[in-house]
Structure 1
């Protein structure tokens, strides 16, 4: 019996690729656009990064496609409505990267509080050696209020870490109900969260309802001493409004692991601001987490192509259709 053909558009370790070959036939391995375009009409599955665009017009060129397995939590690279209409399962890799993203978020909170980046730059530039005045003092996280927007797996993992440092946690989510084990975290309306918080951190999926969730109006509600952290998706924040708020002193600063677009243009204003920390989308960038993400993405792909339920599917209503196509 022939194995279903699939496009493997991310790098896989040799052992994992060999395991994959037991269930599917890779017809492309790699991200060459021409090879992928040529293989699309034959492909029944695609394993790709969440940065690989799959709009409706691309799906039109893949009449046999049954599953898109994203390497990452995000799936805004896929036209989900078009995929669902065509009976294509869209899978992602939540859960396995929650700890890594939460760790990075907490690291950014501590870096902001203790002015680690400013102090490191001061030493590197020779300021300490020349006995110049150091950067201003930092502040203790204990007793400060952390506002978490999006209280799913990652948001809850951030809350646990913040509580260990003595922070008060408020959160806003679509379902603003107490969470077992986190009863000390208080659900509040978005406007109240912005007004209360010393640090606001974003952990939402990107969809039409969260596009530019944080804009000029929301930034104006924040304390002038507050910081904004974004480790979710760049498009959740109106970047022009954020740059203006930082220039005008509306908020104290921002720590961003994501931007819109990525990578940013060399003249992106945020890159030149001293009150901004920018990282190159490294939320899941640990050896262990990336390995777990690859493994889950492969299991999602193989499960759909062999008629089984995948570990994670964002449009599960199509699974029966995807299995029988």
Structure 2
């Protein structure tokens, strides 16, 4: 390891503890700008293109896509990309593979925080928090024994689409709510599911049987818009759909129609497409959807742990060791 090796950190808000992991061994170059929102598409794009030539590693802090233009600017010096995220659909995986560039992500460390947000979304949709918060802000409350009634989790069937780290953490946190049964679906049955008392079923069976459906799957060609008009039609009229995966798992036009026409009871979304969701988006006109601004991993501890894992992956990659959490070795 050598200070001659340069590491580029793509955003100006990367935790200092992770910067120290890198700067103890390498020369660290940090963008002056945020790699989120409008700046990611404008000033930071130009900044990264200027800074990346000669860099051996790129720490990616964003769900904005890594472009071929950026990789071309990096040239042959780039050996590893460490994305500070569990998902990596934004990382141009095929392009990195073709160039022989290693890729790591940060799974598992964010599972507890994302699971907490999933539970919040379930409760928000089940107890009609969007509608009820609007009452508070207006100062006009619907008061009565049969007003503003929500749904119980007690005795319900909860279906998890993707029993990875986040899905398992959701099941563990919901166990105390006296859920009747847990279902899950995926490519295969998992021993972890049996240990949690969750039953492996087909996607169709899960959609037809569940009162709450939690999407915790990665975005792939197979899962893109897996929730669409056809699959929404399989759900129960009291079903609540929660998405903590990626916005494009859901056809939002079809979801809007299902919610608007009360084909399902409600939805809770921490991820949307696009992000941010425009203020005039039609989903925001509905009372039966509870939307958060992609804050699943947004706790001090979790973001620090994600950043430090990304930093340690870079250290291992540039010292010729196996990655801690490899996507491409």
Task: State the TM-score, normalizing by the size of structure 1.
Answer: 0.90
- Retained in 2: the 8 A contact 1:56–1:83? no
Offset at residue 15 of structure 1 (A):
4.7
Matched, 1:240 2:253: yes
1:235-288 CA distances to partner (integer Å, 9 max, x unpaired)? 111111111211222211111000011112222111111111110000011111
Q: Structure 2 unaligned segments of length 5 or more: list them.
A: 34-43
Asked whether 1:137 is paired with 2:139, we answer no
CA deviation after TM superposition for structure 1 residue 19, in Å: 3.5
1:156 to 151, 168, 179: 168
**In structure 1, how many angstroms separate the alpha carbons of the residues matched to 2:251 and 2:68?**
26
Describe the shift of the 1:99–1:270 C-alpha distance in structure 2 as closer, same or farther (beyond 3 A): same
Q: Secondary structure at the match of 2:220?
A: coil
2:53 aligned counterpart, secondary structure: helix
Give the superposition deviation at 1:143. Answer: 0.8
How far does residue 142 in structure 1 lie from its aligned partner after superposition?
1.2
- Conserved 8 A contact 2:10-2:31: yes
Displacement, 1:65? 1.0
Matches within 5 A, 1:21-40: 21-31=23-33, 32-40=44-52
Which residues in structure 2 correspond to 1:252-263 (within 5 Å)? 252-263=265-276
Partner of 2:97: 84
Distance 1:147 1:13 in 2: 35
| SS of corresponding position for 2:83 | strand
Q: Which moved more, 1:69-78 or 1:12-21?
A: 12-21
Unaligned runs of 5+ in 1: 317-325
**Quick one: structure 1 residues 246 and 49, their matched pair in 2 at CA, closer, same or farther if it must change by over 3 Å?**
same
Give the equivalent residue in structure 2 for 1:321.
Answer: none
Pick the aligned partner of 1:286 from 299, 302, 310.
299
Aligned to 2:39: none
- In the other structure, the counterpart of 1:3 is 4
2:17–2:304 CA contact under 8 A, matched in 1: no
Q: Distance in 1 between matches of 2:15 and 2:202?
A: 45
- Out of 235, 254, 257, the residue aligned to residue 222 of structure 1 is 235
Structure 2 contact 104–326 (Cα < 8 Å) conserved: yes
Q: In 2 relative to 1, CA 274–260 (structure 1 residues): closer, same or farther, beyond 3 Å?
A: same
1:45 aligns with one of 53, 57, 71: 57
- The alpha-carbon distance between structure 1 residues 117 and 133, as it changes in their structure 2 partners (threshold 3 A), is farther
Contact 1:162 1:169 in 2 (8 A): no
Query: Is the 8 Å Cα contact of residues 41 and 62 (structure 1) preserved in structure 2?
Result: yes
Give a deviation string over 1:28-55, Cα, whole Å, max 9, x none: 4334322210222211111122423213
CA distance in 1, matches of 2:193, 2:216: 19
- Compared CA separation, residues 187 and 14, structure 1 to 2 (3 A): closer
CA contact (8 A) 1:300 1:311 kept: yes
- How far has the Cα of 1:131 moved from its partner? 5.6
Distance apart, 1:230 and its partner CA: 0.2
CA distance in 2, matches of 1:183, 1:48: 34
Aligned to 1:193: 206
Aligned length: 315
- Provide the TM-score with structure 2 as the length reference: 0.89
Inter-partner Cα distance in structure 2 for 1:268 and 1:120: 19
